[in-house]
Structure 1
Amino acid sequence: MQYVSTRGHSAAQSFSEILLGGLAPDGGLYLPAEYPRVSGAELDAWRALSYADLAFEVLKKFATDIPEADLKALARKTYSAGVYRNARAGDDTARITPLHALEFANGGELILQALSNGPTLAFKDIAMQLLGNLFEYALAKQDAELNIFGATSGDTGSAAEYAMRGKKGIRVFMLSPHRKMSAFQAAQMFSLQDQNIYNIAVEGVFDDCQDLVKAVSNDLEFKARQKIGTVNSINWARVVAQVVYYFRGYLGATTDNHQKVSFTVPSGNFGNICAGHVARMMGLPIDKLVVATNENDVLDEFFRTGVYRVRQSAETHHTTSPSMDISKASNFERFIYDLLDRDAARVRALFEKVQTHGGFDLSGGPGSDGDEFRRVAHYGFVSGKSVHADRVATIRDIHAKYGVTIDPHTADGVKVAREYVAPGVPMIVLETALPAKFNETIREALGRDAERPAGFENIEALPQRFDVMPADVGRMKAYIAGHTGL
């Protein structure tokens, strides 16, 4: 399996070669030169597998240069009862990402896929725990070090830091928007005292943090000298790890391979639902991929109109589903690459236009940049939007009817999913986090505090360690260099 850049960088790379690097040298994102296919016979054989062994079967199609025995050991180390609260030793088939049937609506079934059983109570753990083990494995092979530089809108940061804390040869520099996460999210990150963890609160929004990561990554000389890598979903290994739970969700919701399912995904940076796109391209029988946005509706606007129009920092709303407060969806470029029949020159031109003009238009109308929007339906994508009043009402409704408490981002997903439920096609909504991480909104919706798992009772009261900095590339580079000694 070889990988190519969405912007045409000519040198094909292996999985191990792109694992530690993040962006391609030309600023593009890596994708496989062609998607591996999964047969019906393979799906049948995978139904009885544990989550760890299913992960191995999916991963080995992409990481063909890692010995299979090593890859299986890494998967089993990652997806184990010691890491996931609901898993039991030797019986994790349905417990890493369990399915919970919620309701029948419009003649169809709505199912919640729980993805928040990991150490930081968010879906990001599913990929990040694997990434931490892959990084440690690869660095040990090379006797090398890695300085991870990433950005978070709330959950990626804590998942990365918990996955990388104490890992030999790894430092983590994590950017987050100052005072724009929930109190729980901030405490999860800033209370860590590990010496290889550096938290930087950036005066701005998530997009400013993400722009800093890209600017540093695009300085190839600095990136090489400082041994910079990334854990954001621009890292291909993150996306691959997330592909696995689409297969698990499908296999758990169906009894044979002739049935289709749909997935609704609360979306900000397009990484989570990009994994669903990859699964569909591999042959998983997915009907619709439903993009659910909050007030920051850049993706909803594109999937309704064909116009991709990023917002400036001042236009990006600070909402009660803060992990989706994103107006520049990094992984969107991977889908556009496929939508444009992998025409790297056009992809490069369109995303250069994003930088200079703030977006592009594929609607086919007068003055547009193309008419590829007509092909979006071929890939199964539809979308919808949820605002604060919607998510509060949805949290309240789901709790009243089913006794289940969901977090605000998952509520955005449920609200939009209900608009697309169809008879005979199970609709799986991907959970994003436990409600305890967003207690302020749960209290508003239900009039009481969200339940907290053991060990998180007083996390906000713990001492916190972080630095506040402006969104300045030069200052950020100096900070990294000053803490690595390189």
Structure 2
Amino acid sequence: MKYLSTRGEPTLRGFSDILLEGLAPDGGLYLPDHYPQIDAATLARWRGLSYADLAFEILSLFIDDIPAEDLRAIVRKTYTREVFGSDAITPLKPLVDRAGAASGAGVALLALSNGPTLAFKDVAMQLLGHLFEYELARRGEVLNILGATSGDTGSAAEYAMRGKRGVAVFMLSPHGRMSPFQQAQMFSLADANIHNLAIDGVFDDCQDIVKTVSGDLDFKRAHRIGTVNSINWARLLAQVVYYFAGWFQVTRATRSSDQPVSFAVPSGNFGNVCAGHVARMMGLPIEQLVVATNENDVLDEFFRTGRYRVRGAADTHETSSPSMDISKASNFERFVFDLLGRDGARTAALFGAGLARDGGFELKPAEFARVREFGFASGRSTHADRIATIRATHAHYGVTIDPHTADGLKVAREHLDPAVPMLVLETALPIKFAATIREALGREPERPPGFEGIEALPKRVLRMPADAAGVKRHIAEHAVGAPGR
């Protein structure tokens, strides 16, 4: 399996190279040169596998430059009950009302938030930490990870990388735009290899800095810069697994070997739902991929109109589902590349010069007509919708959900088909967004053991302006492998 850039850069790369690199040299994102195809016989063979062994089977289709026995050991070390709280790793949570009746049209939650930082990002980030450590040891190299977070990626990455040999993490977050719990998870870490930078701006400013630094190839190579954002293919690949795991849980419950399933995915940067797109391209029977946005509805606008219109910082709303306060969806380029028949030149024109010049683009009618072929639908949720959905879900089913999952559930109900089960991807536990839960339910959300008083811990963070040059100076001074370090 080789990997190519969405913008047509001609050199094909191996998995281990792109694992450490992040963006392609031409600014594009890596994708496999083909999607392995899964048939009914393969699905039948995988049906009874543990999550770790299912992950090995899927990952090994895309990774052929890590010995199979090493890859199997890595995934078995990653996906354990001790780390994720259950053997299922991502268990299905049917919505059953207090009288014992299931939610209409087979709506259920796919619980992805039982890892160390209580968010779905842990499922991929824990694997990424082990992969990085393995590959760096194999090469005798170091890596300085540069990332941007709107809330959950940062803590998941830092918890996965803390104490890892040969790795430092520089995590950018928008100053004052994360919940107090999210800030505490990141800023309370005292590990020497963790560096938190609070940027004056919004998430898109942080993400732009990551892309600017990663685009400086001389600096990137000199300081061994890598990424953990979902622009890193390895992270997105890890997320493909739980779409298969969710489908297997549904089909076991329905005793069907070919039951199609739809997924509703709270979406900001398009990475989570892009993993579903990859699973569908592989042949997993996915009927719909429902993209749920909040008031920052760039993606919903695209799937309704064919127009992708990036907003600036002043027009990016600060909402009660802050991890989705994103107006420039990096992973969206991967889907558009596939939508355009993998035309790298056309993709580069849209996301390179076109995006910089016009702040967006509009697909040709024939191009936009193909969107439905890929199973996508979308919808938008507001603060009032979130509050109402959290209240109703708690009242009817006795389940408390976080505001992002509420966005997903609200939009999911607009796209139900009685014949097709709908799985809503849970994104985080409610404790991470206590203020919204208090507003909705009039009480504090349940706090998992080990997180008592986290907001009061000392914080270690540096506030900086939205300036790529300043971030580069900080990295140069503190990078692992720098002189004196």
- Determine if the TM-score, normalized by the shorter chain, exceeds 0.5: yes
1:25-40 mapped onto 2 (5 Å cutoff): 25-40=25-40
Once the two structures are TM-superposed, the CA of residue 100 in structure 1 deviates from its matched residue by: 1.2
Q: Which residue of 2 aligns with 1:440?
A: 435
Structure 2 residue 177 is matched with structure 1 residue 180: yes
Instruction: Say which SS state the counterpart of residue 106 (structure 2) adopts.
Output: strand
1:39-118 mapped onto 2 (5 Å cutoff): 39-85=39-85, 87=86, 92=87, 95-102=88-95, 108-118=105-115
Q: Which residue of 2 aligns with 1:375?
A: 370
Deviation per residue, 1:183-216 (Å, 9 max, x gap): 0000000000000000000000000000000000
Q: Work out the CA distance in 1 between the residues paired with 2:421 and 2:447.
A: 30
Q: Which residue of 2 aligns with 1:362?
A: 363
1:148-159 mapped onto 2 (5 Å cutoff): 148-159=145-156
Q: Which residue of 1 aligns with 2:187?
A: 190
Deviation per residue, 1:391-439 (Å, 9 max, x gap): 0000000000010000000000000000111111000000000000000
Aligned alpha-carbon RMSD (Å): 1.1
Q: Which residue of 2 aligns with 1:401?
A: 396
Q: Is there any run of 5+ residues in structure 1 with no aligned partner, and where?
A: 365-370
Q: Work out the CA distance in 1 between the residues paired with 2:79 and 2:109.
A: 20
Q: Which residue of 1 aligns with 2:161?
A: 164
Deviation per residue, 1:239-285 (Å, 9 max, x gap): 10000000000000013332100000000000000000000000000
Structure 2 residue 413 is matched with structure 1 residue 414: no
Q: Work out the CA distance in 2 between the residues paired with 1:50 and 1:122.
A: 21
Q: Work out the CA distance in 2 between the residues paired with 1:29 and 1:330.
A: 9
Instruction: Say which SS state the counterpart of residue 244 (structure 1) adopts.
Output: helix
Q: Work out the CA distance in 1 between the residues paired with 2:318 and 2:246.
A: 31
Q: Work out the CA distance in 2 between the residues paired with 1:396 and 1:387.
A: 14
Instruction: Say which SS state the counterpart of residue 195 (structure 2) adopts.
Output: strand
1:200-211 mapped onto 2 (5 Å cutoff): 200-211=197-208
Cα contact 1:106–1:423 (8 A) shared by 2: no
Cα contact 1:298–1:310 (8 A) shared by 2: yes
**Which residue among 379, 383, 386 is the counterpart of 1:388?**
383
Q: Which residue of 1 aligns with 2:469?
A: 474
1:286-301 mapped onto 2 (5 Å cutoff): 286-301=286-301
Q: Work out the CA distance in 1 between the residues paired with 2:388 and 2:295.
A: 15
Once the two structures are TM-superposed, the CA of residue 102 in structure 1 deviates from its matched residue by: 1.2
Once the two structures are TM-superposed, the CA of residue 66 in structure 1 deviates from its matched residue by: 1.0
Q: Work out the CA distance in 1 between the residues paired with 2:2 and 2:364.
A: 32
Structure 2 residue 217 is matched with structure 1 residue 244: no
For the structure 1 residues 107 and 363, does the alpha-carbon distance in structure 2 shift closer, same or farther, using more than 3 Å as the test? farther
Query: Residue type of the partner of 2:210?
Result: V
- Normalising by the residue count of structure 2, what TM-score does the alignment of the two structures yield? 0.96
Q: Which residue of 1 aligns with 2:280?
A: 280
Once the two structures are TM-superposed, the CA of residue 64 in structure 1 deviates from its matched residue by: 1.3
Farther-moved stretch of structure 1 (177-186 vs 46-55): 46-55
Cα contact 1:3–1:31 (8 A) shared by 2: yes
Instruction: Say which SS state the counterpart of residue 111 (structure 1) adopts.
Output: strand
Q: Which residue of 1 aligns with 2:318?
A: 318
Structure 2 residue 225 is matched with structure 1 residue 225: no
Instruction: Say which SS state the counterpart of residue 144 (structure 1) adopts.
Output: coil
Q: Work out the CA distance in 2 between the residues paired with 1:128 and 1:258.
A: 30
Q: Work out the CA distance in 2 between the residues paired with 1:266 and 1:191.
A: 27
Query: Residue type of the partner of 1:262?
Result: S
Query: Residue type of the partner of 2:26?
Result: D
Instruction: Say which SS state the counterpart of residue 84 (structure 2) adopts.
Output: coil
For the structure 1 residues 106 and 76, does the alpha-carbon distance in structure 2 shift closer, same or farther, using more than 3 Å as the test? closer
Percentage of identical aligned residues: 68
Cα contact 1:407–1:442 (8 A) shared by 2: yes
Instruction: Say which SS state the counterpart of residue 147 (structure 2) adopts.
Output: strand
Once the two structures are TM-superposed, the CA of residue 41 in structure 1 deviates from its matched residue by: 1.0
Deviation per residue, 1:129-152 (Å, 9 max, x gap): 000000000000001100000000
Once the two structures are TM-superposed, the CA of residue 107 in structure 1 deviates from its matched residue by: 5.7
Q: Which residue of 2 aligns with 1:350?
A: 350
Deviation per residue, 1:10-64 (Å, 9 max, x gap): 1101111110110000000000000001111111111111110010010000111
Query: Residue type of the partner of 1:436?
Result: I
Q: Work out the CA distance in 2 between the residues paired with 1:157 and 1:225.
A: 24
Q: Work out the CA distance in 2 between the residues paired with 1:363 and 1:203.
A: 37
Query: Residue type of the partner of 1:437?
Result: K
Q: Work out the CA distance in 1 between the residues paired with 2:310 and 2:64.
A: 36
1:125-144 mapped onto 2 (5 Å cutoff): 125-144=122-141
Once the two structures are TM-superposed, the CA of residue 82 in structure 1 deviates from its matched residue by: 2.2
Query: Residue type of the partner of 1:307?
Result: R
Deviation per residue, 1:303-334 (Å, 9 max, x gap): 00000000001000010000000000000000
Cα contact 1:105–1:418 (8 A) shared by 2: no
Instruction: Say which SS state the counterpart of residue 206 (structure 2) adopts.
Output: helix
Structure 2 residue 447 is matched with structure 1 residue 452: yes
Query: Residue type of the partner of 2:260?
Result: K
Instruction: Say which SS state the counterpart of residue 97 (structure 1) adopts.
Output: coil
Q: Work out the CA distance in 2 between the residues paired with 1:468 and 1:385.
A: 32
Once the two structures are TM-superposed, the CA of residue 97 in structure 1 deviates from its matched residue by: 0.5
Once the two structures are TM-superposed, the CA of residue 457 in structure 1 deviates from its matched residue by: 1.3
Q: Is there any run of 5+ residues in structure 2 with no aligned partner, and where?
A: none
Q: Work out the CA distance in 2 between the residues paired with 1:145 and 1:47.
A: 39
- Normalising by the residue count of structure 1, what TM-score does the alignment of the two structures yield? 0.96
Cα contact 2:29–2:334 (8 A) shared by 1: yes
Query: Residue type of the partner of 2:106?
Result: E
